[in-house]
């Protein structure tokens, strides 16, 4: 384990930024979001960012290819470029797990080369939590917020910032930073303290019992979906703030002299998500609402060795316009203990 003083941190950021773009949570206009580091950008104290870091690997909009159309002929232009090296600093445990969940979609065959290139060139520096909030429930999904993983982990202890590499990629970067070695006692003390706070969280006892693979028919047919979805506006807020939602649309944009095929985030909550020329297999909001939660709590784990498609980051709890969210769904549908 290595450490640095908080006074030295700016210099370390500068060093990282010499070789790669560095992004970290920073405060602006009372909101916290990942911001490109430059001299003067301060690492935020906030628990997490409003927008999840999935953008780094799966941006909201990205151009896929271009077409030149002349008369009857078409030329396809592969505009893909190898991603530049970048570092994302300060990622919380929940969001680190979200990358694993996205990997299991984009990196299985046939894998997505756009995503893969960014994943290979990105280094994740995670940060252990010390002050979880009431909307946190990462523990429900077996995530340890005191040990968040990624390529490198940092612990924000009182006396210093502690660093540890978890992967080869992380070792390589950490080796260039010239940090002093340290013992683990401060980190261990912090882990214990955070663990005690985790016990006190209002959602500490939320369980995944009753969900998972093989529960499709039992849960799909529950009558409670109707009342849960009753007030749903059908907007995409939950989907777009969610670090694991990965559905996308592919669209063409005619600039006048070429056609850009791009993809953008899409939401299964939208009324036209499954609409095709001859019909729509999910006509009502209750069906669309159910799909989103069934996907995270049943279908995804069924296809991915029991891993749930939710990380308990709490963003949807904070952002849903009508305050409906996965916790209310789990408690109602799964009958999870208080």
Q: Which of residues 61-90 bind another protein (CB under 8 A)?
A: 61, 64-65, 67, 69, 72-76, 78, 80-82
Our separate counts of H helices and E strands in the chain read 12, 14
Q: Which is nearer to another protein, 164 or 239 (CB)?
A: 239
- Any residues with CB less than 8 A from the CB of 167 and at least 6 apart, and which? 150, 151
Pairing mode, if any, of strands 31-36 and 122-127? unpaired
Best CA proximity match to 314, nearest among 190, 148, 132, 147: 132
Q: Is 36 in the site for another protein (CB under 8 A)?
A: no
By CB under 8 A, residue 324 contacts another protein: yes
| Residue choice 38, 189, 195, 231 for contact with another protein (CB under 8 A) | 231
List binders of another protein among 136-195 (CB under 8 A).
Answer: none
Given candidates 5, 188, 193, 227, which one binds another protein under the rule CB under 8 A?
Answer: 227
Of 223, 162, 194, 216, the residue nearest 9 (C-alpha): 162
Residue 284 in contact with another protein, rule: CB under 8 A: no
Residue 248 contacts another protein per CB under 8 A: yes
Residues numbered 100-139 forming contacts with another protein, rule: CB under 8 A: 105-106, 108, 110, 112-114, 116-117, 131-135
CB of 313 to another protein, least distance (A): 13
Smallest distance, another protein to C-beta of residue 121, A = 11
**Distance between CA atoms of residues 22 and 15, nearest Å:** 10
Here the tokens at position 209 are 């019992």
The nearest distance, CB 125 to another protein, in angstroms, is: 22
Determine, following the binding rule CB under 8 A, whether residue 310 of this chain makes contact with another protein. Answer: no
Residue 3 C-beta: closest distance to another protein, Å: 25
Is residue 286 involved in binding another protein (CB under 8 A)? no
Confirm or reject binding of residue 236 to another protein (CB under 8 A): yes
The residue from 36, 172, 205, 251 that contacts another protein (CB under 8 A) is 251
Which residue, 299, 332, 139, is CA-closest to 227? 332
Query: Could you say whether residue 253 binds another protein (CB under 8 A)?
Result: yes
Question: How far is C-alpha 232 from the geometric centre of its chain's CA atoms?
Answer: 23
Of 36-44, 183-191, 305-313, 324-332, the segment contacting another protein by CB under 8 A is: 324-332
Distance CA 5, CA 57 (A): 31
Give CA 86 to chain center in angstroms.
Answer: 17
Which lies closer to another protein via its Cβ, residue 106 or residue 141?
Answer: 106
- Shortest distance, position 66 Cβ to another protein, whole Å: 9
Alpha helices in the chain (DSSP H): 9-19, 93-106, 113-121, 168-175, 185-200, 216-220, 224-229, 237-241, 285-294, 300-303, 315-319, 326-333
| Residues in region 4-23 near another protein by CB under 8 A | none
- Number of Cβ within 10 Å of residue 94's Cβ equals 27
Per CB under 8 A, does 328 bind another protein?
Answer: yes
Instruction: List Cα–Cα distances, 134 to 131, 201, 203, 251, in angstroms.
Output: 10, 6, 7, 39
The pair of structure tokens assigned to 256 is 């006048």
Nearer to another protein, 10 or 83 (CB): 83
> By rule CB under 8 A, what count of residues binds another protein?
104
Beta bridge partner(s), residue 104:
none
Residues 254-283 binding another protein (CB under 8 A) are 254, 259, 261-268, 270-278, 280-282
Is residue 50 part of the contact set for another protein (CB under 8 A)?
yes
């Amino acid at each position: 384990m290595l450490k640095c003083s908080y006074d030295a941190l700016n210099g370390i950021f500068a060093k990282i930024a010499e070789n790669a773009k560095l992004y970290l949570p920073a405060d602006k206009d009372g909101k916290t979001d990942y911001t490109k580091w430059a001299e003067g950008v301060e690492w935020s104290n906030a628990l997490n960012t409003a927008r999840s870091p999935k953008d780094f690997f799966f941006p909201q909009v990205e151009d896929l290819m271009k077409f030149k159309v002349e008369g009857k002929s078409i030329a396809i232009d592969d505009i893909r470029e190898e991603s530049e090296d970048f570092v994302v600093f300060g990622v919380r445990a929940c969001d680190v797990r979200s990358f694993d969940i996205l990997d299991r979609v984009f990196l299985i065959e046939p894998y997505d080369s756009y995503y893969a290139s960014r994943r290979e060139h990105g280094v994740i520096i995670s940060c252990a939590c010390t002050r979880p909030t009431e909307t946190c429930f990462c523990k429900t999904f077996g995530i340890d917020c005191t040990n968040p993983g990624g390529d490198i982990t940092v612990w924000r202890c009182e006396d210093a910032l502690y660093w540890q590499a978890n992967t080869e990629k992380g070792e390589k970067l950490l080796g260039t930073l010239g940090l002093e070695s340290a013992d683990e006692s401060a980190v261990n003390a912090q882990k214990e303290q955070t663990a005690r706070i985790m016990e006190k969280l209002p959602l500490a006892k939320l369980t995944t019992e009753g969900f998972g693979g093989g529960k499709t028919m039992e849960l799909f047919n529950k009558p409670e979906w109707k009342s849960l979805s009753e007030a749903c506006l059908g907007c995409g807020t939950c989907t777009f703030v969610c670090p694991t939602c990965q559905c996308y649309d592919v669209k063409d944009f005619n600039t006048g002299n070429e056609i850009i095929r791009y993809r953008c985030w899409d939401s299964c909550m939208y009324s036209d998500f499954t609409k095709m020329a001859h019909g729509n297999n999910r006509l009502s909001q209750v069906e669309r609402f159910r799909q989103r939660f069934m996907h995270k709590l049943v279908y995804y784990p069924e296809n991915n060795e029991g891993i749930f498609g939710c990380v308990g980051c709490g963003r949807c709890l904070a952002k849903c316009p009508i305050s409906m969210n996965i916790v209310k769904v789990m408690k109602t549908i799964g009958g999870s203990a208080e």
